[in-house]
Structure 1
Amino acid sequence: MTIRLEDLTVNFDERFALHNIDWQIEDNQHWVITGANGSGKSALAAVLAGTGQTVSGSLSGVPARVALVSFEAQAELIAAELKKDDADIMDVIAEGTPVRDILLNGETDPALVDELARLFGLEPLLDQAFRKLSTGESRKMLLVRALASQPDLLVLDEPFDGLDANTLAMLQQYLESLVETIPMVLVLNRFDEFPDFITHIAYVDDGRLAHRVERSDETAYAELYQLLHLKTTDLDVPGADPDTALAKLDPAQPLVKLNGVSIKYGERVLIDQLHWTIERNQHWQLSGPNGSGKTGLLSLITGDHPQCYVNDIFVFGFKRGSGESIWQIKQFIGYVSTSLQWDYRVGTSLRNVIISGFYDSIGLYTKCTERQRQIADQWLALLGMGARADQPFNKLSYGDQRLLLIARAMVKHPPLLILDEPCLGLDDMNRQLVLALIEKICAGTETSVIYVNHHPEDQIRGIDNYLALGAPAPAE
């Protein structure tokens, strides 16, 4: 058996769509579909059971007998039972269909139904009306019906949700016994629930199949775990250290106000008469072609550009050129760029990299407080790196280094976080890791974010202000 989804786009009642799915399920493969809530996991599983309207592409090789267990299927069965009441013209309250009749629907083996009813503890309920079952009991009934139908493909959407510990362990053991005879596709949110027999993982994001990973590929599997952790964790962004809190800013003033700023090099005009105001809690995406002045514009804000003193610039309550020091400005800014990553070559621990953000240093040369250590460990937990706190930074992958440097920039909760091409040089998996972290920062803090990128597809939920710079004017 080989199931092929080739460039498949499917609509679901105009509420949701899967786009351009390319996926192949071979014999002896057992898959988990995972991803964040609303990403399309259940939709992809339902496609295998014939749900949805194909818009383009093709689906082939699906066997005739597919058993699907999902919350949607459970809801449909309940709705069908309620309709029987509506169809009764007499004022008689119907008892509803007995559990036994639903299980023995012509496609199931009666002996296997009895065995599974015993295993799932449904024997005393077989003659009871389905509608009188609890949510957990009706879930068990659907599992029994699916397993008793002995399908050619078993699709289980969150099969372990709502089950008590004993039933969950029994179901996992029973599924293990089917590995050699029935291919399985499971939809699961939690990595710790992945059964040992799973061979492949499909990661869905925003209606697209973003990654297909072999369970045996330890590096790819670890990266996918980290990505899902960042997408779905309920951990809040760690708070600031009250002992190193920044000075309070006037809430009535914008963070940054550029009044008709220009950047010129001789006759060459890079930026001409740009007005830009960044209010508190605003997030901006800054884009433009190479040479359009993105980095120069940022350096006007940070105070690193020599022309910041000949422009009308207001930052964090300071009028540039009024006697303020550059460090009075920089204390309110967190900054991440590729050049910073090149400079951060020390072999200090992951924990110390984050703590160094309290001191704006490359490396840690001051004894930290216990509170700073705790905050750093909270950031590592958020990044899915809690067990790696003492590993050396220079041994990390390029993408993990970028995540650490973003956490380092955020540890003081600066009013403004500038991320200059944070995805530059990253592969697709690490790019999504970084985007997931930025999204979490935008959603969970009062830090305003300026996110610089070249690729319009790398948009982030929570960023709804955009500034696009044009090509530089040619020298006359």
Structure 2
Amino acid sequence: MTTSDLIRFDDLTVNFDDRFQLNNINWQIEPQQHWVITGTNGAGKSALAAVLAGAGDIVSGKLDGIPRRVGVVSFEAQAELIDVERKKDDADIMDVISEGTPVHEILFENCQDVPLAKALAEKFDLTKLLDRSFRKLSTGESRKVMLIRALASKPDLLILDEPFDGLDANSLAMLQEHLQTLIKTTPMIMVLNRFDEFPAFITHIAYVDQGHLQLQVSRNDQLAFDELYKLLHLKTTDLTVPAPDPDNNIPALNPEEPLVRLTDLTIKYDDKKIIDSLNWTIEPNQHWQLSGPNGSGKTGLLSIITGDHPQCYVNDIFVFGFKRGNGESIWQIKQFIGYVSTALQWEYKGTTSLRNVILSGFHDSNGLYTRCTERQKAIANEWLELLGMSDRGDEIFGKLSYGDQRLLLIARAMVKHPPLLILDEPCLGLDDMNRQMVLALIEKICAGTGISVIYVNHHPEDKIKGIENYISLG
């Protein structure tokens, strides 16, 4: 790759044997840039890297600038080479059994720098194995062969998919040291899951999710880099949503009854009907996405459920075991609901600490005015850990970024484990990075917490993993 070359993806959509698809990728790799592609398992990281090596079938868009020599190290390439060797057994005739290709033939095939290959074989402790059949190597040993082949091919572009997996400490240090010598001559694309494995020379990070290139971050943009770290923490951590307080005083609901049942619901102002004869039932542990344009009635519908709408008593509404209009109080309804909205964020007191913001959710208060138990404090600390904010519990809420405030308010709404969590336009006003963090947190909440979620937004196509029921107004 010369200083005038660049690799360019323009609205590229690529199919992989109908098993997976990358969609509308726009990406530019410039000379002297070194990228890490990251994201969760199954997001499309390896697929995106494989496109650079010629894999996949282009459905639409353009891909320009792929250099002539591309060095590739990946589990897929390693498996393909091993499979080729195994097939040689199938071709054996009578009692002639193939010993397979020796390591030295595979290592020096198409080698552009034999002295380098020999030197690396020595450093990787492979010299004694050069006459052994490649198929008899361990997984780690065959991985080293793949690395040496790629590095000694004098590639114009080097693609390394999880290159550090399976290497012992000495081999890992040696590889990292050698890669450092290539940074001025060879652009590198690495696929990595762990932030702590990112080499210091990496200049940019590409975040892939569900087949889309969602974010591109410069390593020099420290704020964006830190936010991407938090996003990956939410997406990849083994931490789960903290358990509820065992002394939670929310009354038990009948599991055989729906949380909400609206029958022929009509909302009208003067003579104009905003919602006309809507039927909607929300069962326990059932997640819904409510979408629609401005003015379609989303906010009115939510306020019917929360008990705040004046037309609650002229409609057939069943919520949390209550048939509305039979003497129940609004607080009897609200105890079963966690609620997050932009309006709440505007109103929430900015002088409260992060820990106390979460604790206030136990009492549905705007600020903390009630003494909390030690167990409740421990749960709040678990939420801070899940959000990647363990060391920030005493910071002031008003000093957080807009996106971090939204995450804290979702944790506040969730801390009491309400039967129903309503997220009213939770991504409104957020940039791409913070939007991805909020959506990642919602995914975690939907994954087996026993809580029903209503996710409200403008765009029905903006879907969240774990939400399978949809209702659209307007």
- TM-score, length-normalised on structure 1? 0.95
Distance 1:127 1:204 in 2: 41
Distance 2:382 2:242 in 1: 6
- Give, as a single letter, the amino acid of the residue that structure 1 aligns with 2:183: V
2:373 maps to what in 1?
369
Number of residue pairs matched? 470
Q: Verify: 1:16 aligned to 2:20, yes or no.
A: yes
1:6 maps to what in 2?
10
Secondary structure of the structure 1 residue equivalent to 2:97:
coil
Q: Verify: 1:72 aligned to 2:90, yes or no.
A: no
1:171 maps to what in 2?
175
Among 181, 185, 194, which residue is 1:190 paired with? 194
Mapping of 1:189-268 within 5 angstroms? 189-268=193-272
Quote the offset at 1:108 in angstroms: 4.1
Distance 1:69 1:454 in 2: 43
Among 99, 104, 108, which residue is 1:100 paired with? 104
2:433 maps to what in 1?
429
Structure 2 unaligned regions, length at least 5: none
- Give, as a single letter, the amino acid of the residue that structure 1 aligns with 2:152: A
2:293 maps to what in 1?
289
2:129 maps to what in 1?
125
Quote the offset at 1:268 in angstroms: 2.2
CA contact (8 A) 1:236 1:444 kept: no
Identity rate, percent? 73
CA contact (8 A) 2:292 2:460 kept: no
- Give, as a single letter, the amino acid of the residue that structure 2 aligns with 1:19: N
Deviations 1:171-224 (A, max 9, x none): 212211221222111011111110000011111122222221110001111121
Q: Verify: 1:344 aligned to 2:348, yes or no.
A: yes
Quote the offset at 1:77 in angstroms: 0.5
Deviations 1:353-405 (A, max 9, x none): 11110111111122322221221121122222223222211111111111111
Distance 2:95 2:298 in 1: 73
CA contact (8 A) 2:140 2:166 kept: yes
Question: In 2 relative to 1, CA 62–289 (structure 1 residues): closer, same or farther, beyond 3 Å?
Answer: closer
Quote the offset at 1:118 in angstroms: 1.8
Moved more, 445-454 or 267-276: 267-276
Quote the offset at 1:124 in angstroms: 2.4
Distance 2:62 2:300 in 1: 49
Secondary structure of the structure 2 residue equivalent to 1:435:
helix
Quote the offset at 1:163 in angstroms: 1.7
Distance 1:358 1:270 in 2: 34
Question: In 2 relative to 1, CA 468–59 (structure 1 residues): closer, same or farther, beyond 3 Å?
Answer: closer
Distance 2:177 2:238 in 1: 30
Secondary structure of the structure 1 residue equivalent to 2:47:
helix
Structure 1 unaligned regions, length at least 5: 471-476
CA contact (8 A) 2:350 2:399 kept: no
Deviations 1:418-464 (A, max 9, x none): 11111111112211211111111111311001111101232111111
Mapping of 1:58-69 within 5 angstroms? 58-69=62-73
1:474 maps to what in 2?
none
CA contact (8 A) 1:108 1:145 kept: no
1:142 maps to what in 2?
146
Secondary structure of the structure 2 residue equivalent to 1:50:
coil
Quote the offset at 1:307 in angstroms: 1.7
Quote the offset at 1:106 in angstroms: 2.9
Distance 1:460 1:35 in 2: 16
- Give, as a single letter, the amino acid of the residue that structure 2 aligns with 1:97: T
Distance 2:305 2:297 in 1: 13
- TM-score, length-normalised on structure 2? 0.96
Among 28, 32, 44, which residue is 1:40 paired with? 44
Secondary structure of the structure 2 residue equivalent to 1:458:
coil
Quote the offset at 1:269 in angstroms: 2.0
Mapping of 1:461-472 within 5 angstroms? 461-470=465-474
CA contact (8 A) 2:157 2:187 kept: yes
Secondary structure of the structure 1 residue equivalent to 2:293:
coil
Question: In 2 relative to 1, CA 265–21 (structure 1 residues): closer, same or farther, beyond 3 Å?
Answer: closer
Distance 2:471 2:19 in 1: 31
2:155 maps to what in 1?
151
1:356 maps to what in 2?
360
